[in-house]
Structure 1
Amino acid sequence: MRRALAAVHAAGVPAAFAEVRDGGRTWSGAAGTADLSTARPAKPDMRHRVGSITKSFVATTVLQLVAEGKVGLDDPIGRHLPELVPGELGQQVTVRMLLNHTSGIGNYTDALLGSLAGVISVGSTSYAPEELVRIGLSLPVTGAPGEGHSYSNTGYILAGLLIEKVTGNDAAAEITRRIIRPLRLTSTYFPGDDPKIRVPHAGAHFALLGVRDFATYQMSWAWMAGELISTPADLDTFYRALLGGKLLPPAQLAQMRTTVPMDPAQPEVGGYGLGLYWNATPCGPAWGHDGGVVGQITLSLHAPDGSRQLSLATNLSHYQLGVPELHPIDAAWLGFAVTGLCPGATAQRAAAPPRLPLPGALPVPAG
């Protein structure tokens, strides 16, 4: 594991840090420099913006509300938020479609982060969730509601507003009360309007803008689609509890793991459920999520029962520049993931190449 993690750093990221669990055994490690301005060494317990992994926490909370009879997965979102999604669209798009990205609603971050100027400006701008929804709804639809998977952060902003409407509480506070506090995830929190990450934390380096550190960055633009801060250890604890049935009744966990193909042309690659996806690996499907924000990338994948776990964080993003070939960082990233999730799987790799999310695959802003 140490060699595999060092290879991620050697491939070009300033730092990589991770935790791997196998039953009752835990390994954690770090390689490289936490931020380029101070040359602080990376440590395994550093806090990190985990981006879209937030969606697993949001979806779990919605499914708890489903289990309590307070909302239905097939409720039209217009029933709960008619002022935001009115008319025919509000009646066609269901809660389930928001959570599995089949709503067809445009992805608001395509508009906010579509240029380098946008990347810089959103980090000092405060957005209301309703404003993010309006941006998403103003974009062209990606398909008819329920037609197919098309990733949209807008759906999770609506899911956060749904939590608030149904419970009468702030979405971050409700998720903290239901999940973060009971699991004692002491390094996991929603920063709200605070642009800083509580120490210890890694830096955040955006490859197209050199050594600049984006760790201090306003995250209201991501809200319930990607605001969460956590650590590899806390993520492993969360997903083990989730996949082990400690956070949801069996019926709701089964719904969460009911997936649609992420790529209809290659359904064997992986499927997206409700804030949770599976990816093919040499040792079978791995469940979890990844997350990418400006300067920080996270991957958290787990055996179906949560017995074997891997969470990996790096502090460099957007280095691929649209080149279709596998970047050396991506190759090392895959190598670490396979080493951690599939020990002894070397002989299987040729027959079953890993199909995992790649940090270099993040869209590169133009201009």
Structure 2
Amino acid sequence: MRAELEAIHRAGVPGVWAEVRENGEVWRGAAGEAAPDMRHRVGSVTKTFTAAAVLQLVERGKIGLDMPVHGEATVRELLNMTSGLADYRFLAFPSVLEGSPRSLEDNRFRHFYPRELIELGTSAPAVPPGTYSNTGYLLLGRLIEKVTGMTAERWITRHVVERAGLRNTMFPTGTRIEGPHPRMLEALFGLLDPPRDYSVYDMSWVGVAASLISTVEDLNLFFAALLDGRVVSPESLAEMQKTGPVVAFDGSTVDYGLGLHRHGDFWGHDGSVWGAGTWSFHSADGERQVSLAINLQRWQDKAIDEALAAFQRKALRV
């Protein structure tokens, strides 16, 4: 495993770290400018936490999975990406479509309010159901707030993060990550050369869709608790594991449920925000878990893709 991490580093990722658990045994490793216990931004892995919070409210009878939230879009459709709502990314960061990284820098310290981003997504032309979008998860965050009377971040922290016993998982309260963390380097497919460090960034642009901070250890603990029925009920977990095809931002098709991916016989989620990437997948029986973090995003080197794929195969034993 250590050799596979070193190969990812040699291929061009400045820092890479991981934790693998198998039958109660734990292995942690790192290569480059990284350490296994570092905190990092986990991107869309946040969606699994948000989805779990929503399912808890379903269990309490506060909301229904087939209840309309926006127009005819239901809670279930927002969770599984079949609502047809467009993503707001390129509307919030318009220069990216023009081939310029300017708006990434312009928005570094800009605070977005969820209603601004939701308005961008819901006002845009509809997309085919099964198209990946952050907009629906921001709507779910607003629903949590309406039903509970507290911020979605606080509700998720109290009822999901704390229930799972996580000590290094939190929503950001400012632009910085507290505690040991790496640089987070964004290449934007070569538009930023050399890649720029965005470890200091206002993450309000993704909110409860993708702003969570965690560690590879905490992610393994969380998914172990989730898949063991200790975060949501077995019935809710079964709903989360009803999947269909969803086209991701990179054009690939993933088998997506209610905030969960299926990857062969494994369940989990991956995530990406400016400069930070995460990959976390777990066997349904809890016998094998893998969480990986890297501090470079949107590279153009196929050697990195190949090295990451080799690590995943080795870690999952597939």
TM-score by length of 2: 0.93
Question: Is 1:158 aligned with 2:143?
Answer: no
Letter of the structure 2 residue corresponding to residue 98 of structure 1? L
Higher strand share: 2
Q: Write the distance in 1 (CA, Å) between the matches of 2:141 and 2:247.
A: 26
Q: Name the count of aligned residue pairs.
A: 306
**Secondary structure at the counterpart of residue 274 of structure 1:** coil
Q: CA deviation at 1:270?
A: 4.2
Would the aligned equivalents of 1:102 and 1:150 in 2 still touch at CA under 8 Å?
yes
Would the aligned equivalents of 2:131 and 2:247 in 1 still touch at CA under 8 Å?
no
Q: CA deviation at 1:221?
A: 0.4
| Aligned match of 1:24 | 24
Q: Write the distance in 2 (CA, Å) between the matches of 1:215 and 1:12.
A: 18
Aligned match for 1:279, one of 260, 263, 273: 263
Q: Write the distance in 1 (CA, Å) between the matches of 2:274 and 2:48.
A: 20
Would the aligned equivalents of 2:39 and 2:168 in 1 still touch at CA under 8 Å?
yes
Structure ranking higher on relative contact order (CA contacts 8 Å, 6+ apart): 2
| Aligned match of 1:6 | 6
Deviating beyond 4 angstroms after TM superposition, the runs of 4 or more aligned structure 1 residues are: none
TM-score by length of 1: 0.81
Aligned match for 2:37, one of 45, 49, 57: 45
| Aligned match of 2:283 | 303
Question: Is 1:137 aligned with 2:122?
Answer: yes
Q: Write the distance in 2 (CA, Å) between the matches of 1:3 and 1:172.
A: 38
Would the aligned equivalents of 1:301 and 1:309 in 2 still touch at CA under 8 Å?
yes
Question: Is 1:261 aligned with 2:245?
Answer: yes
Higher alpha-carbon Rg: 1
Q: Write the distance in 1 (CA, Å) between the matches of 2:195 and 2:56.
A: 42
Aligned match for 1:62, one of 47, 54, 57: 54
Where in structure 2 are there 5+ consecutive unaligned residues?
Answer: none
Aligned match for 1:224, one of 195, 208, 214: 208
- CA RMSD, aligned part only? 1.6
Q: CA deviation at 1:286?
A: 1.6
Show CA shifts across 1:43-77 (max 9, x none). 00100000000000000000000011110000000
Q: Write the distance in 2 (CA, Å) between the matches of 1:178 and 1:286.
A: 25
Would the aligned equivalents of 1:124 and 1:218 in 2 still touch at CA under 8 Å?
yes
Show CA shifts across 1:338-359 (max 9, x none). 11111xx4xxxxxxxxxxxxxx
Q: CA deviation at 1:184?
A: 2.5
Give matches, 1:1-367, under 5 Å: 1-33=1-33, 42-77=34-69, 85=70, 90=71, 92-114=72-94, 115=96, 116-143=101-128, 148-192=129-173, 194-207=174-187, 208-209=191-192, 210-262=194-246, 270-280=254-264, 285-320=265-300, 327-342=302-317, 345=318
Show CA shifts across 1:183-234 (max 9, x none). 2211110003x00011200111112321531100110001011110000000
Show CA shifts across 1:276-322 (max 9, x none). 01123xxxx221000001011000011122321100000001112xx
Q: Write the distance in 1 (CA, Å) between the matches of 2:87 and 2:204.
A: 16
Q: Percent identity?
A: 47
**Secondary structure at the counterpart of residue 220 of structure 1:** helix
